[in-house]
Structure 1
Amino acid sequence: MATTKTVIFDALDELLEQEFKNFTWHLLNGGFTESSIPRGKLEKADRSDVVDLMVQQYGISDAGKIAVNALHSIKQNELAEQLKRKLQKVPEDVPAGDGASSGGKTGTAGVTMNINAARGGTVKAPVLHGGVFHGPVNFS
């Protein structure tokens, strides 16, 4: 199964050496975010190193967006659009053991969670998979 990191890596693997150098230059100088990867770390980084550094610096969801923007900056518009489409198909990357929690225990698909709150209770909710959700999610 594809992950955000492998999809970004595959896109960078399509670049010729000079195009890859231009990509890393735009990571440093493109102004995509307030913080950039330190120049010394990018100096001798290969494609896999750059993907890892992007995820460490920007987080998994922003790394993909920044890669798309940097590809547009080096006039690799078709590759940028391909990457954008592939990123939309990647299930949300959640490290093992992480996930939604309210101080209780999590189950498996169809999650049952015991919530330790003043009133307590059990919540049964559908599993959300394959999307990017920002902020609260309400079920009716």
Structure 2
Amino acid sequence: MEEFNINSVQVILWKTMENLIEDDFKKFKNHLKVMKDVPLSKLEKADRDDTVELIVQTYTEEFAGKTVVNILKQMNLNQMANDLQEKVLKIELQPMLEKQKAFEDARRAYEQREEQIKTQAKYAEKQINKGYKKFDQALQDEVAAKIAALREEEEQKSQMMKEKIEKMNREISALSDTMRAIEEKMRSDDVTPPQF
């Protein structure tokens, strides 16, 4: 059950009672007596303010306005009943309107937080990509350095092998020259050379 502010339904009911002429106020109290919800002993001596307090105590603020509207309609005070019904409805809707506003404010806060999360995620993604690119560049630099060192080593070893091959070629050439010289000498001495 919603609790209403004392300055809401009760105040409107007081103002409504003040707008009733004396005869209408007496008729109003008679209608209340017929309903038999309000103690008759208290209602007999009640003035307008006391009557409102008795109605609110008996029916609670939630139903007090509706009760007075119904009695006013039974008394054919339709304009007054409609005005009161409109005012009571506004008061009853007020907590819902406030709750709706609170929900809308909360929704806006959630939407803002969602945007912050998206922005933070995009920033983090950029930072990760930036870090990855730096890491990737460092890795590429390291790979390039290792490949360069490997090529340098290959070049040095190839050069060393070329030098050894050249040396072997010179040795082979010198050995071939020596063998030819020996063969020629042996021919000139008429000795049959060994077959290699």
Q: TM-score range by the shorter chain?
A: 0.5 to 0.7
Which is bigger in relative contact order (C-alpha 8 A, separation at least 6)? Answer: 1
Say whether 1:6 aligns with 2:11.
yes
Q: Which has the higher strand share?
A: 1
Percent identical residues: 34
Alignment of 1:37-48 (within 5 A): 37-48=38-49
Q: Which has the higher helix share?
A: 2
Counterpart code for 2:39: P
Alignment of 1:1-140 (within 5 A): 2-29=7-34, 31=35, 36-90=37-91, 128=99
Shift of 1:129: 6.8
Decide which structure has the larger Cα Rg and report it: 2
Provide TM-score, normalisation by structure 1.
0.60
Deviations for 1:29-85, whole angstroms, at most 9, x for unmatched residues? 1x4xxx510111010111110111011111111110000001111111100000000
Counterpart code for 1:89: K
* Structure 2 equivalent of residue 100 of structure 1: none
| Residues 28, 9 of structure 1: alpha-carbon distance in 2 compared, 3 angstrom cutoff | same
Flag as ranges the 4+ runs of structure 1 deviating above 4 A: 91-94
Give the RMSD, CA atoms, in angstroms. Answer: 2.5
* Structure 1 equivalent of residue 116 of structure 2: none
